[in-house]
Amino acid sequence: MKKLLAISLFLAIFSSCGKYYSGELTGVEGRRKYFEPYPFGMVFVPQGSFNLGPADQDVPFAQNTFSKTITVEAFYMDETEITNNEYRQFVQWVTDSLLRELLGGVLEEDFKVTTDEYGNELEEDIYGRNYHLNWDTKINMSKLSDNEDARTAVDNLYYSKEDRFFGRKEINVHKLNYRYFWLDLQQAAKKANSYQNEFKPEVGQLSEEPGKYTGRVINQEGNEIEIEGRRSFILKDVVNVYPDTLCWIRDFTYSYNEPMATMYFWHPSYDNYPVVGVTWKQAEAFCIWRTQLLNQALVSDGDFFVQDYRLPSESEWEFAARGSLENSMYPWGGVYTRNRDGCYLANFKPLRGNYAYDGGVTTVAVGSYEPNEIGLYDMAGNVAEWTANAYDESGFFFYHDLNPDYKYNATPQDNPVMKRKIIRGGSWKDIAYFLQVSTRTYEYQDTATSFIGFRCVRSFLGNK
């Protein structure tokens, strides 16, 4: 009887597991199959190798480009530069979040979420806040005008009466600051900053102090600090997101560009024109915001797969600009800037100051010229584009031949030479040399101009 009972218990235990395990290596079962939808407004750039560097002589004798065979993995790239209207979505999101932050101080029940789905009080986040903004509540300014406290709180976001022009009530763009953070994997990957396991608890037990980090890290302020944990590799920054519209006046002495300064970013006529007046840091912040915008939507739909948008590396940009034409001088191939009908193939500065000869005096709407072989528009001319990489004249000598990448997180204490970031593609004010796919130059990361914009990329998960 005891034997029968033991056999029954054995069978009951294994039948309760629901599945028989053979002991073979089968991997974790129940994993969701991943399907990557085609990103909206992006072009797929397949993996490949090419000769990074000049296809023609070095006209200015800059000696900063040399031929190097490299390989890049597949990725997605925006088919056009980020437009004014697309960037305006970023600005409006920041504006909306600040309004909710201000209103949450007086109407907490409507604009703040202080408990989780189980009713527990939220813990402080990385910014020291123990609440989330409630994005489900719509902001009705006409109704809020009846609430004096709410009206006073919202007024903090607008220009004071003394700063108003013709009495117009306008948002103070200097207050449109975006707080963001990122994980510095470059510092975390250093052997000197590795995690050391020192404690060996008994089997089945967890130690409160299993180990510690070695080494030191440099924070965003440029200070070297001891590593306290993973939090030491999480860097935080704040950047004003509104474009520098006065760059149209500042860039050109003795030139009348006031209409562009006052109209270019906000007027509907320029919605599909490339955004300019953005610094490298603003472009980086935009990529992080765009990443969070997508991932929050994916998580809300029950999808745990996340994607990161970022600026392209220098090598990715050149590979995409060349398309399938490996030895071409320009994105469209060949050595000429006109087609067989004599029409210019990009928006730049042809001849001697004849800006209008190519169809545009300054910038033109994105996609006004034919795309390259893989469907990317304006990889030459219109506006130059920020890349993710720091500028070094000798970079081609120490670049790796697989996914070349050189980044330097410049801090306020760093010498200005360390704040140079690579720009590519040439712009509406440049001569044809800067339109070549191999031409590289730089601008400082905290500088905004009327001729530099950007576009984003997203890595392709897999091998194609």
Q: Compute CA distances 392 → 22, 218, 408, 445, whole Å.
A: 57, 21, 10, 14
Whether the pLDDT of residue 164 is over 90: the answer is no
Question: Do 160 and 278 fall into the same domain?
Answer: no
Q: Directed axis angle between helix 84-104 and helix 148-155, to 10°?
A: 130
Q: What is the pLDDT of residue 53?
A: 76
Question: Do 252 and 337 fall into the same domain?
Answer: yes
Question: Do 261 and 340 fall into the same domain?
Answer: yes
Q: What is the pLDDT of residue 57?
A: 63
- Number of domains comprising the chain: 3
The answer as to whether 347 is a domain residue is: yes
- Going by C-alpha positions, the residue among 54, 36, 44, 50 that lies closest to residue 403 is 50
Category of 223 on φ-ψ map: left (φ > 0), alpha (ψ -120 to 50) or beta: beta
The answer as to whether 1 is a domain residue is: no
The better pLDDT of the pair 394, 347 is held by 347
Whether the pLDDT of residue 142 is over 60: the answer is yes
Question: Do 297 and 436 fall into the same domain?
Answer: yes
Q: What is the pLDDT of residue 24?
A: 84
From 193, 213, 235, give the residue that closes a domain.
235
Question: Do 98 and 48 fall into the same domain?
Answer: no
- According to DSSP, the residues that pair with 213 across neighbouring strands are 195
The answer as to whether 162 is a domain residue is: yes
Q: What is the pLDDT of residue 2?
A: 47
The model carries a pTM of 0.89
Mean pLDDT of 434-449: 94
SS3 193: helix
The percent of residues above 70 in pLDDT, for the chain, comes to 88
The answer as to whether 14 is a domain residue is: no
CATH number of the domain at 60, please. Answer: 3.90.1580.10
Residue 49, token pair as written in the block: 């190798």
* Cα atoms in the Cβ-side hemisphere of radius 13 Å centred on 96: 14
The answer as to whether 27 is a domain residue is: no
Q: What is the pLDDT of residue 246?
A: 96
SS3 357: helix
Q: What is the pLDDT of residue 65?
A: 72
Angle at 9 between CA 8 and CA 10, to 5 degrees: 90
Question: Do 296 and 445 fall into the same domain?
Answer: yes
Q: What is the dihedral of CA 281, 287, 289, 294, to 10 degrees?
A: 180
From 152, 176, 200, give the residue that closes a domain.
176
Q: Cβ distance 54 to 61 under 8 Å?
A: no
Whether the pLDDT of residue 15 is over 60: the answer is no
Whether the pLDDT of residue 10 is over 50: the answer is no
Most confident of 122-131, 280-289, 410-419: 280-289
Task: For residue range 293-331, list pLDDT tens digits in order.
Answer: 988 887 776 666 677 999 999 999 999 999 988 788 999
Distance CA 54, CA 9 (A): 76
Confidence of residue 20 (pLDDT cuts 50, 70, 90): low
Confidence of residue 388 (pLDDT cuts 50, 70, 90): very high
Q: What is the pLDDT of residue 378?
A: 96
Q: What is the pLDDT of residue 261?
A: 95
Q: Cβ distance 211 to 197 under 8 Å?
A: yes
Residue 134's CB: how many other CB atoms inside 10 A? Answer: 17
Distance CA 417, CA 391 (A): 9
Whether the pLDDT of residue 6 is over 90: the answer is no
Question: Do 444 and 366 fall into the same domain?
Answer: yes
Element spanning 101, H or E? helix 84-104
Question: Do 198 and 140 fall into the same domain?
Answer: no
Question: Do 218 and 113 fall into the same domain?
Answer: no
- For 249, phi then psi, to 5°, come to -90, -40
The answer as to whether 25 is a domain residue is: no
Confidence of residue 102 (pLDDT cuts 50, 70, 90): confident
Whether the pLDDT of residue 4 is over 50: the answer is no
Question: Do 226 and 247 fall into the same domain?
Answer: no
Full residue range of the structural domain in which residue 122 is found = 86-176
Whether the pLDDT of residue 13 is over 80: the answer is no
Least confident of 19-23, 124-128, 172-176, 244-248: 19-23
Distance CA 262, CA 264 (A): 6
The answer as to whether 374 is a domain residue is: yes
Q: What is the pLDDT of residue 304?
A: 60
Q: What is the pLDDT of residue 134?
A: 77
The better pLDDT of the pair 434, 211 is held by 434
Q: What is the mean pLDDT of the chain?
A: 86
From 137, 153, 176, give the residue that closes a domain.
176
Distance CA 95, CA 104 (A): 14
Least confident of 39-53, 135-149, 157-171, 359-373: 135-149
Confidence of residue 269 (pLDDT cuts 50, 70, 90): very high
Angle at 280 between CA 362 and CA 411, to 5 degrees: 150
Task: For residue range 59-80, list pLDDT tens digits in order.
Answer: 666 666 778 889 999 999 999 9
The answer as to whether 38 is a domain residue is: no
Q: Compute CA distances 399 → 48, 52, 143, 312, 460, whole Å.
A: 17, 11, 59, 15, 22
Mean pLDDT of 141-145: 71
Question: Do 215 and 297 fall into the same domain?
Answer: no
Task: For residue range 321-368, list pLDDT tens digits in order.
Answer: 999 887 889 999 888 999 998 899 999 999 888 899 888 999 999 999
Q: Cβ distance 415 to 311 under 8 Å?
A: no
Question: Do 142 and 206 fall into the same domain?
Answer: no
